[in-house]
Chain A
Amino acid sequence: MKFSEYDPGEFYDELYEGKGQPRPGSTLLLRKFASLPEGELKKRQEAAERVILNMGMTFGIHGGDDGHEQIFPFDIVPRVVVASDWERIESGLRQRMRALNLFIDDVYHDQTILKNGVIPSELIFSGKGFLLPCMGLNPPRGIWCHVAGIDLVRISDGQYYVLEDNTRCPSGVAYVLEARQVMKRTFPELFEAYRVRPVDGYPSQLLETLRSLSDLPDPTVVILTPGIFNSAYYEHSLLAHKMGVELVEANDLAVVDGSVHMRTTKGSQRVDVIYRRINDDYLDPLAFRHDSILGVPGLMEAYKRGRVALANAPGTGVSDDKAIYAYLPKIINYYLAEEPILPNVPTYLCSDRQDRTYVLEHLDQLVVKATNEAGGYGMMIGPHASKQEREDCARRIEADPRNYIAQPTLALSRVPTLVEDHLEGRHVDLRPYVLYGRDVYVLPGGMTRVALRKGSLVVNSSQGGGNKDTWVLS
């Protein structure tokens, strides 16, 4: 395989400056690849896939009758982030995490940001993420969102932009931890040569963050999962394992005398902090969706009385709304009196008449997203869509304008990816993870999602995206 022949083309490439020219941080890596005997890279890719299969790292709803499962698609060419780039990302994420939390706390208390006309009130109250029962709640230290996954993209100008804020139950960090393990087994010699910042500290940082929500010297922390049929179950289990805490399902919990207990072989045991991986409207059938079988009756009442702490707090969905995302630069300005370090992607709100007119006239150039969907659902990529799909999209927008935003189609950066026996550029994004306990912590790394199909811009794992290791250099 001749690496000198790799052509980044018209896109920003994370490893190459130009044809056959590695970027400063990638020289060593690419030289190593080039020195491998013919076919060796493919062999290592296959070896990595075997490791993933044996680890049982699978994605999505598992287990048909025949037990055929999708192993998580993984590509062994890593993405490299140089230290100076990472510094900027990290400070941008800290800033954003603080602003998001000040905003959520304000929304559920005095709503000064609405009174001062920075954000139109109806935008908040019409969002699915706004939960009336959360008005007036006071989570410990006023922090609502303790775990966030902030999606970043890089485009032709080499600048990182924030694409969306996942502040409800962001997933994917397990793949960051496992991808690193797989890479260490696959290219031990590279880790000796490179100074890649480790990611293994995440579980203990997460545990510290969760423990900080309780005043007790040794609080009982648990992870609440919807169960083995949830597509992120693998992650819930892995985090519980690495933190040494119980992984519980709703049936294991009950509210007794106002506090939460779990059923054990020796009777019941009180629970102090719950890292919930269930959406807030399913948490408690008494407070939210009455049909939820995943929730714990009475949990909200216990939470309101401060008898149990929840991470993330119910109600954080208000900032997970793509229409609110459009206001994030203003939100940062309003609460912190700072300019955003990481810019937003220009966004058109279909609820705004002027924006809507523009969107409907330029559907062939824009990406349209539903404001409250995750996982790449409800997305329409104009330039790749058929006339019929665009017309359907226009109809949906007109029927429910509040539910849609649009953004220009971005020329996402690319990373070389192994195709058969050679490298081709594939589009990527990056999801770093941010924790907020006593202080804001940013994991030095993140999930680099890659659109494995040639030319595709959809990186979501639920839509056939894959994964790469992300090397933050020190």
Chain B
Amino acid sequence: MLSRVASSIYWLNRYIERAENYARFIEVNVNLTLDLPRGTTEQWEPLVATTGDHESFTSRYGKATKENVTQFLSADVANPNSILSCLLAARENARSVREVISSDMWEQVNRFYLMVRDAVSQGLSSRNLHTFLADVKANSHLFLGITDATMSHGEGWHFARLGRLLERADKTSRILDVKYFMLLPTVTEVGTPFDIIQWSALLKSASALEMYYTRFGRISPDDVTAFLILDSTFPRAIRYCLIKSEDSLHAISGSEHGSYQNQAEKRLGRLRAELDFGDLEDCVTGGLHEFLDQFQAQLNRVGEAISETFFAPRPIHSIITGAETQ
């Protein structure tokens, strides 16, 4: 597969997944504010903080109000990670590989983009925000379903899954991190109904509420953290994402599990092993936020290695035609 094509498929999927997760970010907060006891102020600042685009937001919007943050995360083309920007980028990537993906996939990216464009141009208000976020998630799921059902599960598909799951691992870690930024009114409130509300909102925005209940039955901060980081069967849990990403990486390069042929496999393998042989203790001992921060940095290095291994326009080296030496 052409390096450029592999790169475009990978990024197309990263961008679609990113758009979906931004919708989830906003949802965490919308879910929370609906459940807030009277008299508590809405917190929109944590949302911006967790995306890592805090500086760009503050310089352009100043105060983190619901309207500002929603605009910044969903409709702002000057924010390269906003939902609209993601769809524009996804569509350009899809356009440049139209001959490789199925026409159903292209049409879905196109419809998804048109939906976002139209919704944004009509303006997002409290009344239609919920519908918009639900539509973004549904369109992303539809794209994923169409990809799985209409694209051969070969090299291109593995690049697609790799892009999607690395993006998802990063974003699940950030959704979890939102909690860290959410300042509870007082320390004594940890473990109170209000605290529980926040954890449930988190699970809900990761579509994890039902699966979590099935496994644990009641909300406890430790269990929620363990579930979102270490579960190997829940598709939005970080460990699950790493396991499947690694499967795809090995499928692409053809190397055995437990070995590595390139930097990408080496770095991802080590990161996955850390979670395979880690427990909640390891995640929270030095502070959950610090753990997640470090995890995101390591994940970035995996991304860099993938880019260098498969996408970078390396010079094509002369092919040695085995000249016989006597």
Are A56 and B107 in contact, CB atoms less than 8 angstroms apart? yes
Which of B92, B99, B103, B316 meets A247, CB within 8 Å? B99
CB distance from B307 to the nearest CB of A (A): 12
CB distance from B38 to the nearest CB of A (A): 42
Of B2, B96, B252, the most chain A CB neighbours within 10 A belong to B2
A84 at interface, CB cutoff 8 A: no
Are A265 and B3 in contact, CB atoms less than 8 angstroms apart? yes
The interface residues of chain A, by DSSP majority, are classed as: mixed
The answer for the CA separation of A360 and B6 in the assembled complex, in Å, is 57
The A-B contact count (CB < 8 A) is 81
Q: Which of A51-68 contact B (CB under 8 A)?
A: 53-56, 62-63, 65-67
Q: A238 contacts which chain B residues (CB < 8 A)? A: 98-99
Residue in chain A with minimal CB distance to B107: A54
For A, the interface residue count at a CB cutoff of 8 angstroms equals 34
Residue in chain A with minimal CB distance to B102: A241
Are A254 and B316 in contact, CB atoms less than 8 angstroms apart? yes
Answer whether A262 and B2 are a contact pair too, CB < 8 Å, given A55-B107, A240-B99. yes
Are A237 and B99 in contact, CB atoms less than 8 angstroms apart? yes
Q: Which of B107-121 contact A (CB under 8 A)?
A: 107, 110-111, 113-114, 117
* B109-144 near A? 1/0 per residue, CB < 8 Å: 011011001000000000000000000000000000
For B, the interface residue count at a CB cutoff of 8 angstroms equals 35
The answer for the CA separation of A245 and B252 in the assembled complex, in Å, is 20
The answer for the CA separation of A248 and B1 in the assembled complex, in Å, is 11
Q: Which of B67-123 contact A (CB under 8 A)?
A: 77, 88, 91-92, 95-96, 98-100, 103, 106-107, 110-111, 113-114, 117
Residue in chain A with minimal CB distance to B156: A265
Which of A249, A257, A262 meets B318, CB within 8 Å? A257
Q: A252 contacts which chain B residues (CB < 8 A)? A: 2-4
Q: B6 contacts which chain A residues (CB < 8 A)? A: 265
Are B319 and A241 in contact, CB atoms less than 8 angstroms apart? no
Q: A55 contacts which chain B residues (CB < 8 A)? A: 103, 107, 110
Are A268 and B316 in contact, CB atoms less than 8 angstroms apart? yes
The answer for the CA separation of A56 and B314 in the assembled complex, in Å, is 33
CB distance from A47 to the nearest CB of B (A): 15
A42 at interface, CB cutoff 8 A: no
B310 at interface, CB cutoff 8 A: yes
B residues at A contact (CB < 8 Å): 1-6, 77, 88, 91-92, 95-96, 98-100, 103, 106-107, 110-111, 113-114, 117, 155, 159, 252, 310, 313-319, 321
**Could you give 10 example pairs across A and B, Cβ below 8 Å?**
A55-B110, A56-B95, A56-B106, A63-B88, A67-B91, A228-B92, A254-B316, A261-B316, A263-B3, A265-B2
